[in-house]
Amino acid sequence: MSILEIIFISISLAMDAFAVSISNGMLLKKIKISYALKFGIFFGFFQFIMPIIGYYLTNLLGEEILKFNHFIAFILLNTIGFKMIINTFKKEKNNIYNDKNILSIKNLTVLAIATSIDALAVGVSFFVINLDIFRPSLIIGIVAFIFSFIGALIGKKIGGLLSKNTERIGGLILIIIGFKIFIEHL
């Protein structure tokens, strides 16, 4: 597989992380480079590690692992998306989507896992075609880091324009991505 093919795969895998970074960036009250770096690090790391996990799980379990990956992403993204939307109807002081919670390890880990499930499937396919996993995984992780970092910054700019409805729009984006992943695997 050529480096160009791996870059195209990396870009396609990074699109979900990019969209989620935008939706979460929209919710941030303020943006700092360190916040955008946090998005990049989490999404980049999980996009890097999931193909490796998929590769070695396939070695252990076979291709059966692919049967459930889209359900997991669907459930995680829809749960978070619906929580975000429901939260907009609660009083402002009960808003759990403040900068601290958006940037929490728990939130970023769940989102990073949900958006990198496809990368797990790519690891399975790399095993099937007998491709060395580490170089492609590194490229996938770097591309996801860049896209997520930029996505958080763009999200803050967009969020400032949309103001009140950003949390609903962010939740809707997560739900749409969850359905997209689910439908693609049917």
Interatomic CA distance for residues 174 and 166, integer angstroms: 12
Tokens standing for 67?
Answer: 């049967």
Backbone φ and ψ for 30, nearest 5 degrees, come out as -140, 160
Taking a C-beta distance cutoff of 8 angstroms, is the pair 45, 172 a contact? no
User: What pLDDT shows up at residue 27?
Assistant: 82
- Which of 157, 144, 116, 178 has the alpha carbon at shortest distance from 27? 157
User: What pLDDT shows up at residue 66?
Assistant: 62
- Alpha-carbon distances of 18 from 3, 125, 131, 186, rounded to whole Å: 21, 23, 26, 23
User: What pLDDT shows up at residue 161?
Assistant: 66
Interatomic CA distance for residues 113 and 178, integer angstroms: 12
Intervals of the chain under pLDDT 70 = 62-69, 84, 87, 90-97, 160-167
Domain boundaries, the chain: 3-184
User: What pLDDT shows up at residue 41?
Assistant: 97
User: What pLDDT shows up at residue 133?
Assistant: 94
User: What pLDDT shows up at residue 69?
Assistant: 66
